[in-house]
Structure 1
């Protein structure tokens, strides 16, 4: 079977280094090669190095690797993963590519240098080695003119979007001679190993996402100028109101780089033959003017927006395209925008905006209708399926709905009638599809989603292993449910507990469903998965309920809530069938406690994991402190000192540290060696299901009840409190942070018992509950809770 065990990345610029970083993230070592410098730096001269010294010759790649851990957002899941990248240079080390399975070319976006490099690569190429180019729009076929047939069979485009770790899209672009088996392998490899959303693009200028995205941006500027709209008005319309990112149009251009956008637009204009399309990709004079002035966006400090400091406060000014001067942003009043804000879901918001009836609704419609028609015109030219086009725009530009999904949401037949009435000509295949009686592009047939392929409904491609909870619920697979959660039958004897409260915050309804789900799973299933497909796994306990009870002084209510939380977590921990938690993205507070109580944890790569309760003035109260103390005791020998390991966890909880990835959560000690990271979030639930079945097959046995847990006691508590006081003395924490830290130290160390004492699980839970309750009665905790609910940010009072 074909495998990629080792890779080489040629070109250590921003993209090359970050592609190497993402390979490291998934455990693939790589060579990172670049040019040999022709001049010494001042530092190299000071060290007495010569141009022949290896440190000088490898400098470009070495510095690129060093920069990886300084970038934000971080390209690496963990800082130490950088050791999987080996620096080198093209003169001394190109021959080493014969050792790898995949070579990725990531040099300057220019055809001739790429051709020359591929000629050199072929000298060391061996049968079976895959070679790809990370180009954003240069012809794949043109690059390999003159290369051997065997080399061309193994060559294709692999266009990563920037930054490679975070952007899901990977466009795979076969050449005329690329072996179909290699295309299929790269699609599967990109999905399963790299965690990408892979689309197959045709070898056309700018492929799929950049072709449609650039067209949409140019159309937006054109319609803006026609209607006399301002930059901030356009961004208000073309952001979340239309199911697009908050960066909307002009903020996106600033982030991408206005010069980069111009390069991409010019690439299409110079390589298409239709005069009308060439005109559509002409860069507006205003954007050309920005490039001439060097106002390129974020990288130059100003573009369509500019950050300034006025009267001691930071402010973002906006560019007036009439005067080319920066001014304060104006507030926008629009009934269509308000209607969009009130609507639910991307489809509802877009529909409300476009039907809003004011000038902003008209602007949105004038942009959208042209993008929809253009996308339909390009089907068959840039991609074979509407699914690939939609996915490319969702994954590459972070649209919530792709063009055809949006068209369906607005009503295919109704919008088509409106377009015709306004003089737009629809592609013949769309007219034929509607004439055949179809009222949408995506339709359900025999329980499966279909789409038009060559004029006939064909099943939408679903990668192996993708489980859609919404589809299962629609198919009647719900076993039990309440307002906060549902228990869903995943098939093969596995059930899934899905949270669906607001923000997936844990309240009494979810706790009730946890206990109920464990009881049902123990009776009728091989095991239980805890996962959902919301924006975040769980942001913690329902803070509003706790705050209301604290303000009313209803301590009995809070006490009952904590006891219910403890009972639910113990039900998970001692379940007679395996429980596998599969968290993703924000997994905080109570969400972490659910994971700690589970038999296994399979986090998505992008999981941000931490006990952050100190930010709202309390300590973990759902068993998190008890579970931390237990895990620390189990992680060291029976006679070893508990304090060093306990101090690390104390600091993480006391500073509300959150992991930057699932892999870092493992390194921080929150996860165990038996837990593992799932790189592709789409495969997270199926991986958890498979883990349940594997554990059940080998004979899962529930852990014995923890009768005795060794604790650090009063001596350990004193050490932890001393560390907290040192931070306070240094000005790192506030007086109230110190007060909370003392409470936390008391619980984690097991109170005032002698060091090394053996205590019961119930004893630790009682300490936790008492500390949590006492902190809820503090005015500064009330202030922290109120501030978090009002602003979403912690208060350092």
Structure 2
């Protein structure tokens, strides 16, 4: 069930060390695939200099393409003159050079004779014909060729479009689906070989429609971004900020591809670069990479391009004029903000269409034309409506795809309005809606599956074996999954089972899965129940985050009321919970994804094993709110340091002291291992939808292998007062250089004292209870200070740390 045995990818090659190629190579390396990165030979220095420079640059990019910067050294730089022999060893070749058909064809001819007889060849083109590209390969290789289109940035965007040719073997596609899903962690959509495939065909059209209606309704670019971001379930970058991030020249290239290849499209007249976009390109303002596009930053101020539609007297875009910027400030009008706050989608769309507010008319128009375009082209571009919705959700970050949005708003009602607008000449095209749209249906997603316009039937999800690993896959509108059987629950947690494997699943019920008294008591009781009725427990949340840590509101309330005894009792209960997890008579496995902070991090540290999704951001962040970890986290780090180097635990503490004192949060699960917050034996899963499946397998395997909890640690060698003094000495320089405040230093000093075992001699032996008592002492004393209480209150109010 893990992968097609006919497609084992041990080594890969990426051709092209540009932005996409280098980042695809980085993510394959994240996934443990040995990867060779090729580019043209450099004119000076090492012939692989272009690839070497690209690999070095990966360490500087944000967001980070590498899950651990050290992985950069694992990527092999290469050039086409000297290193084609590498290709004999690779199982997968991904071509990612510039979008020039002639260049790609030349490269395929160059490499063909160097490839093994089983290597799979794929192009990362964003829209060129895959069938045409295949023709450059020798006939015997064409059955192993397809398109594999990653979205930028490849590590973070979930979508990969897989595009078979007429000749691609089904086994190659099946093998790639398994590899891309499990090993690389992606959501795979099978696309037809049409220009721009699914994601960019629909996504770029949506941006073009938005730009068209921006001008039609004379709105500012920042106003449009205020309307087309989170307010309608789309990313913060909305429309024009997204264009800046992508690169305006790249955007223009994709639009040109549509114009050149879609001559018969009824919307073809709109497939040209808008004048304002071309004006920016001509002025060298290409977006984020040049420091200016629709937006530019001057000092701390964000400026937005003045819309020509709002300022008809201004002649720009004109090559003789400079782009004109003004402070960005526009928001949705009061009327539209109120409409967008309506929860019922049917009422929301009815109000938008009926309103005379230009912003409301704009929003209705962009949705109307998106729905019209997507329905018209469904049969041509995708097998089912589900493929379209997932492509847009995973590739563009929308909460709902276009068909889901339409169906939620009332399919027939919206279809009628679209038809009226087409008849009235208000739509961007007079092409009729397809007959299936108005055949009486209530939508395109239902119990039988999702609608396929090409075959006029509903199709269920893929039965590929890899999807059996997704116990709770990303749900399409209307889908529901088995919620399991409740074994026990209270107000804080639910212990439940899925099937009859004897593995309990423990999920929190609090907002952001924070930890309060009900959660603490619930975990302890649930472990007791599991010891009687189950063989293992997996702590897994039904959504992100794993846990944002302790409930600060409740803690601050006790402090404000002067209830210090109750506060210390809560800390003691936290520690008992962590130790109950560690010493449970059944293995407790933490299944982590998203944020795993503070107490949540401490729980996973005490688990028998952690199974973490790659995109897990793990940290002991208590120092940021003026405290130190006191749920057993520092104790556990001290114990691990002692086991790592019993003769001198101080050496192992150096790294973790900095991690905790600076409240560092890992940028990935792999980095969490480097920071000492995950163990080497902990498991990293690349596809978050497979997390529960893997965690249950791990928990079951531990139980079946006769797992026993660790014996209580009663002879832990510590670094003692010598270690604490060494750490404190390093803090003096930080304070002197104004890198740390007096309170920062006080907190860090207490962290050092706890990690090193307190004021005792170096090499002294202590037990876990000793270290836990130190944690409690320092935690409560810090909590009683005005500065720490101010930090907690500030973080609760603003979500940001206070440096006082």
Could you say which TM-score interval applies, normalised by the shorter chain? over 0.9
Asked if 1 retains the 8 angstrom alpha-carbon contact of 2:181 and 2:188, the reply is yes
State the distance in 2 between where 1:91 and 1:350 align.
60
Find 2:446's aligned residue among 433, 439, 443.
443
Asked if 1 retains the 8 angstrom alpha-carbon contact of 2:146 and 2:165, the reply is yes
Give the equivalent residue in structure 2 for 1:385.
384
Asked if 1 retains the 8 angstrom alpha-carbon contact of 2:483 and 2:498, the reply is no
**Are 1:374 and 2:364 counterparts?**
no
- State the shift of 1:351 in Å: 6.0
State the distance in 1 between where 2:616 and 2:347 align.
28
State the distance in 2 between where 1:136 and 1:58 align.
26
SS of 2:683's equivalent?
Answer: coil
Superimposed CA distance per residue, residues 438-485 of structure 1 (whole angstroms, 9 cap, x where no aligned partner): 42322236xxx6555733333233722112299888645333334443
State the distance in 1 between where 2:129 and 2:141 align.
16
Superimposed CA distance per residue, residues 641-665 of structure 1 (whole angstroms, 9 cap, x where no aligned partner): 1111122211110011111110111
Distance 1:349 1:743, change over 3 A: farther
Give the equivalent residue in structure 1 for 2:194.
204
**Are 1:582 and 2:591 counterparts?**
yes
SS of 2:706's equivalent?
Answer: coil
Give the equivalent residue in structure 2 for 1:49.
none
Superimposed CA distance per residue, residues 93-148 of structure 1 (whole angstroms, 9 cap, x where no aligned partner): 12321111111111111000100111111121232111111111111111122432
SS of 2:381's equivalent?
Answer: coil
- State the shift of 1:708 in Å: 3.5
State the distance in 2 between where 1:668 and 1:367 align.
46
Asked if 1 retains the 8 angstrom alpha-carbon contact of 2:645 and 2:651, the reply is no
- State the shift of 1:329 in Å: 2.4
Distance 1:75 1:146, change over 3 A: closer
Give the equivalent residue in structure 1 for 2:255.
265
Distance 1:352 1:630, change over 3 A: farther
Asked if 2 retains the 8 angstrom alpha-carbon contact of 1:336 and 1:355, the reply is no
Give the equivalent residue in structure 1 for 2:239.
249
Asked if 1 retains the 8 angstrom alpha-carbon contact of 2:723 and 2:756, the reply is yes
Give the equivalent residue in structure 2 for 1:461.
462
**Count of residue pairs the alignment pairs up:** 769
Distance 1:682 1:630, change over 3 A: same
**Are 1:791 and 2:778 counterparts?**
no
State the distance in 2 between where 1:83 and 1:670 align.
23
**Are 1:81 and 2:68 counterparts?**
no
Asked if 2 retains the 8 angstrom alpha-carbon contact of 1:351 and 1:409, the reply is no
Moved more, 725-734 or 29-38: 725-734
Moved more, 196-205 or 403-412: 403-412
Find 1:316's aligned residue among 303, 328, 344.
303
Structure-to-structure mapping, 1:223-622, within 5 angstroms: 223-274=213-264, 276-309=266-299, 313-321=300-308, 322=311, 323=314, 324=316, 325-335=324-334, 337-339=336-338, 342=341, 354=352, 357=355, 358-423=357-422, 425-432=432-439, 435=440, 438-444=441-447, 451=451, 454-461=455-462, 463-468=467-472, 475=483, 477-491=485-499, 492-622=501-631
What is the TM-score when the length of structure 2 is the normalising length? 0.92
Distance 1:348 1:395, change over 3 A: farther
State the distance in 2 between where 1:659 and 1:393 align.
29
What is the TM-score when the length of structure 1 is the normalising length? 0.92
SS of 2:17's equivalent?
Answer: coil
SS of 1:604's equivalent?
Answer: strand
Give the equivalent residue in structure 2 for 1:50.
none
Find 2:633's aligned residue among 624, 635, 640.
624
SS of 1:423's equivalent?
Answer: helix
Asked if 1 retains the 8 angstrom alpha-carbon contact of 2:206 and 2:370, the reply is yes
State the distance in 1 between where 2:395 and 2:435 align.
28
Give the equivalent residue in structure 2 for 1:130.
120
Asked if 2 retains the 8 angstrom alpha-carbon contact of 1:250 and 1:304, the reply is yes
Asked if 2 retains the 8 angstrom alpha-carbon contact of 1:242 and 1:353, the reply is no
Give the equivalent residue in structure 2 for 1:21.
26
State the distance in 1 between where 2:419 and 2:227 align.
24
Asked if 1 retains the 8 angstrom alpha-carbon contact of 2:89 and 2:116, the reply is no
Unaligned stretches of 5+ in structure 1?
A: 41-54
Asked if 1 retains the 8 angstrom alpha-carbon contact of 2:535 and 2:586, the reply is yes
Find 2:659's aligned residue among 637, 641, 652.
652
State the distance in 1 between where 2:350 and 2:766 align.
59
State the distance in 2 between where 1:379 and 1:728 align.
62
Aligned-residue CA RMSD (Å)? 2.2
- State the shift of 1:422 in Å: 3.0
SS of 1:207's equivalent?
Answer: coil
Superimposed CA distance per residue, residues 46-102 of structure 1 (whole angstroms, 9 cap, x where no aligned partner): xxxxxxxxx421111111111111222211111221222111210111232111111
- State the shift of 1:8 in Å: 1.2
SS of 1:363's equivalent?
Answer: helix
Give the equivalent residue in structure 1 for 2:320.
none
Asked if 2 retains the 8 angstrom alpha-carbon contact of 1:336 and 1:360, the reply is no
Asked if 1 retains the 8 angstrom alpha-carbon contact of 2:484 and 2:498, the reply is no
- State the shift of 1:546 in Å: 1.5
State the distance in 2 between where 1:339 and 1:89 align.
58
Moved more, 698-707 or 294-303: 698-707
Structure-to-structure mapping, 1:25-40, within 5 angstroms: 25-38=30-43, 40=44
State the distance in 2 between where 1:269 and 1:760 align.
72
Unaligned stretches of 5+ in structure 2?
A: 317-323, 424-431
State the distance in 2 between where 1:75 and 1:427 align.
42
Superimposed CA distance per residue, residues 173-226 of structure 1 (whole angstroms, 9 cap, x where no aligned partner): 111111111011111110011111111111111111111011001111112222
Asked if 2 retains the 8 angstrom alpha-carbon contact of 1:340 and 1:348, the reply is no
Distance 1:472 1:626, change over 3 A: farther
Moved more, 750-759 or 157-166: 750-759
State the distance in 1 between where 2:111 and 2:133 align.
12
Distance 1:467 1:643, change over 3 A: same
State the distance in 1 between where 2:174 and 2:801 align.
47
State the distance in 1 between where 2:24 and 2:228 align.
30
State the distance in 2 between where 1:101 and 1:362 align.
53
Give the equivalent residue in structure 2 for 1:765.
772
Distance 1:735 1:456, change over 3 A: same
Asked if 1 retains the 8 angstrom alpha-carbon contact of 2:723 and 2:762, the reply is yes
Asked if 2 retains the 8 angstrom alpha-carbon contact of 1:317 and 1:327, the reply is yes
Asked if 1 retains the 8 angstrom alpha-carbon contact of 2:41 and 2:47, the reply is yes
Asked if 1 retains the 8 angstrom alpha-carbon contact of 2:638 and 2:755, the reply is yes
